């Protein structure tokens, strides 16, 4: 390979996520033997945009043999481009990776936060190791001094004064340190539901219903930047250009070993004002679920009354069309839904000269009761009398 050429792996269409800092579901495009020394920064950027058929808004490269947290560097001007080439030509393989961020995330801030968090974890680990060491010394000394009762009394007194004897059992303390992810309770009061990092849900719809309750109770204008079967990316508020204007960010995806949906990344911070119109977040299904008890008690609940209740109890402005669909949905939840096979079939049969049965008439009615049978029999008798008069 020429000394002026690089092998570049271009990663794009993925999503960066903090805590931990990872790059989800990227597309990889390998470029072999690219003559980068005869390009300036803008020519190189134009080449990448044509390669991936998309705008390269934010570009980064990673130092060799390092993780993204330790080795990710910006690539935004000529100076960065020179440093990028130095890293690429640092050894004989001339190999380097480039990462494209399509969502303009504050990646370097996330990395700094994670490094600070990792430093705290190291301190906690050192403290835990010191505690284990003290306990090991305690056990060894206990065995050594077990033969002498007086020595044992002195040892226990000494260790108690130094607070080296745990108040609870060692196994119990270790079990408390096992990290357990919270599980969403759908029976929880709707206005107390809050998203938590690592929280598990039965499915994606369960997570979306919780987010709607959370947004309505707090007045947050949440919206779905990605709403797919395996991906849920939620933002809050938009500016005039349609970009996120609030720090809130939630990323959810299915769990690998469990049949559940989990919040993988969460920035639960807001700087937006309370809203009364929450757009597509509040659907007719959500309205129907929230008013199902009222509709069950009052089947003739009018659409305008439903609109008034939603505005009064939940502080939302909804349309009459949403209320109509919500009532249909709630009635289906209460009475059940037969899909395309709705109604009841009424039939009348007779016997011929061979004592064989054959159908005389049939009708489809909404429900089988006294009124529908009377209607059917009256029409049948009327037709039979007409036939007899003709014959």
Stated pTM of the model: 0.46
Listed in sequence order, the residues at least 6 apart from 163 whose beta carbon sits closer than 8 Å to its beta carbon are none
pLDDT at 389: 59
Q: Which of 254, 268, 249, 210 is nearest to 25 (CA)?
A: 254
Given a cut of 60, whether residue 301 has pLDDT beyond it is yes
pLDDT (mean) for 345-350: 90
User: C-alpha 95: how far from its chain's center?
Assistant: 36
Does domain 5-105 sit in CATH 3.40.190.170?
no
Most confident of 62-66, 177-181, 270-274, 278-282: 62-66
Given a cut of 70, whether residue 308 has pLDDT beyond it is yes
Lowest mean per-residue pLDDT among 112-121, 234-243, 354-363: 112-121
The CA-atom distances, in angstroms, between 178 and each of 174, 182, 361 are 7, 13, 71
Q: Would you call 250 exposed, middle or buried from its count of C-beta atoms within 10 A (0-12, 13-18, 19+)?
A: buried
pLDDT at 339: 62
pLDDT (mean) for 199-206: 91
Query: Confidence band (pLDDT; 50, 70, 90) for 275?
Result: confident
pLDDT (mean) for 295-307: 88
pLDDT at 142: 66
Label the pairing between strands 222-227 and 58-62.
Answer: unpaired
pLDDT at 173: 46
Q: How high is the mean pLDDT of the chain?
A: 82
pLDDT (mean) for 82-94: 84
Over residues 324-343, the pLDDT tens digits come to: 999 988 888 877 666 666 67
In 3-state terms the chain splits into helix, strand, coil percentages (rounded to 5) of 45, 20, 35
Enter the DSSP assignment of 17: E
Q: Distance (Å, rounded) from C-alpha 115 to C-alpha 388? A: 96
The helix/strand/coil state of 146 is coil
pLDDT at 119: 61
pLDDT (mean) for 86-90: 86
Q: Distance (Å, rounded) from C-alpha 9 to C-alpha 262? A: 30
Question: Is the peptide bond prior to 20 cis by the omega test (within 30 degrees of 0)?
Answer: yes
pLDDT at 172: 45
pLDDT (mean) for 358-368: 88
Listed in sequence order, the residues at least 6 apart from 341 whose beta carbon sits closer than 8 Å to its beta carbon are none
The residues spanned by each domain of the chain are: 5-105, 109-176, 190-274, 284-335, 344-390
Query: Is residue 313 within 8 Å of 287, Cβ to Cβ?
Result: no
Q: Which of 290, 296, 297 is nearest to 311 (CA)?
A: 290
Given a cut of 70, whether residue 167 has pLDDT beyond it is no
pLDDT at 370: 93
Better-scored residue on pLDDT, 321 or 120: 321
Q: Distance (Å, rounded) from C-alpha 134 to C-alpha 165? A: 9
Most confident of 154-163, 167-176, 325-334: 325-334
Listed in sequence order, the residues at least 6 apart from 349 whose beta carbon sits closer than 8 Å to its beta carbon are 357, 358, 359, 360
pLDDT (mean) for 145-154: 57
Lowest mean per-residue pLDDT among 101-110, 134-143, 174-183, 292-301: 174-183
pLDDT at 171: 43
The crossing angle, in degrees rounded to 10, of helices 107-145 and 149-161 is 160
pLDDT (mean) for 197-210: 91
């Amino acid at each position: 390979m020429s000394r002026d050429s690089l092998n570049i792996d271009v990663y794009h269409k993925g999503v960066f996520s903090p805590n931990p800092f990872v790059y989800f579901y990227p597309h990889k495009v390998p470029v072999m033997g690219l003559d980068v020394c005869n390009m300036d920064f803008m020519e190189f950027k134009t080449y990448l945009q044509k390669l991936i058929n998309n705008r390269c808004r934010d570009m980064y490269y990673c130092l060799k043999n390092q993780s993204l947290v330790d080795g990710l560097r910006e690539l935004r001007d000529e100076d960065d481009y020179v440093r990028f080439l130095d890293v690429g030509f640092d050894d004989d393989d001339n190999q380097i990776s480039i990462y494209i961020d399509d969502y303009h995330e504050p990646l370097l801030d996330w990395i700094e936060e994670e490094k600070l968090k990792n430093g705290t974890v190291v301190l906690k680990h050192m403290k835990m190791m010191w505690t284990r060491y003290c306990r090991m010394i305690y056990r060894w000394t206990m065995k050594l001094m077990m033969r002498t009762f007086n020595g044992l009394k002195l040892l226990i007194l000494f260790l108690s004064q130094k607070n080296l004897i745990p108040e609870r059992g060692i196994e119990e303390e270790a079990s408390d340190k096992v990290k357990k992810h919270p599980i969403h309770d759908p029976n929880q009061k709707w206005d107390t539901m809050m998203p938590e990092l690592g929280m598990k849900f039965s499915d994606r719809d369960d997570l979306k219903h919780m987010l709607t309750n959370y947004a309505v109770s707090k007045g947050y204008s949440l919206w779905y930047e990605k709403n797919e079967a395996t991906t849920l990316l939620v933002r809050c508020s938009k500016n005039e250009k349609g970009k996120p204007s609030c720090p809130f960010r939630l990323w959810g995806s299915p769990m690998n070993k469990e049949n559940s949906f989990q919040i993988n990344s969460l920035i639960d911070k807001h700087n937006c004002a309370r809203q009364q119109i929450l757009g597509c977040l509040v659907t007719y299904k959500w309205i129907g679920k929230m008013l199902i008890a009222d509709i069950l008690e009052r089947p003739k609940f009018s659409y305008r009354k439903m609109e008034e209740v939603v505005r009064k109890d939940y502080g939302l402005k909804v349309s009459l069309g949403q209320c109509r669909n919500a009532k249909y949905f709630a009635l289906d939840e209460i009475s059940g839904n037969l899909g395309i096979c709705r109604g009841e079939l009424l039939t009348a049969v007779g016997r011929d000269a061979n004592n064989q049965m054959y159908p005389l008439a049939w009708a489809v009615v909404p429900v089988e009761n006294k009124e529908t049978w009377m209607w059917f029999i009256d029409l049948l008798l009327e037709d039979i009398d007409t036939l007899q008069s003709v014959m």
